[in-house]
Amino acid sequence: MEHGSVTDSTASTFSIMEEDHTLANSARFVLNQDPIEATERAWRKQFREQWIEGRPKINIRVQTTGDPAKDVLKDALQDLMVMCQHVRGTFDNAMANHRAKKPAEQMDVDQK
């Protein structure tokens, strides 16, 4: 859910339910990685985690100097998704290569 001003799209707070600091820290990392955005959009971000009735919720505040905050956060989360897909693909390939070299029945899991 976005909490922002109707007249100023460059500053908004986004509330995401059922998520915790893991997503917030990852989003902050991606937001800070883009050199163009870091210099041209003059970021100011605030992350806060809350628990409401036992359910996690994070608030992410994004302010920019021009681009709509909603677009900036959307771009960052899409970049994060691409990073996660790359990590998953790399891991799956490494596991497939490992299994191809040494099938499970030949592995000695009790070996120390």
pLDDT given at position 110? 66
Half-sphere exposure for 27 (CA within 13 Å, toward CB):
24
More confident residue, 54 or 70: 70
* Mean predicted confidence (pLDDT) in 55-70: 83
Share of the chain above pLDDT 90, in %: 20
pLDDT given at position 13? 85
Half-sphere exposure for 32 (CA within 13 Å, toward CB):
9
The superfamily (CATH) of domain 2-101 is RNA polymerase, RBP11-like subunit (3.30.1360.10)
- Going from N- to C-terminal start, the domains of the chain cover 2-101
C-beta separation of 38 from 30 below 8 A: no
| Single-letter code of the amino acid located at 46 | Q
Neighbours of 21 (CB within 10 A): 13
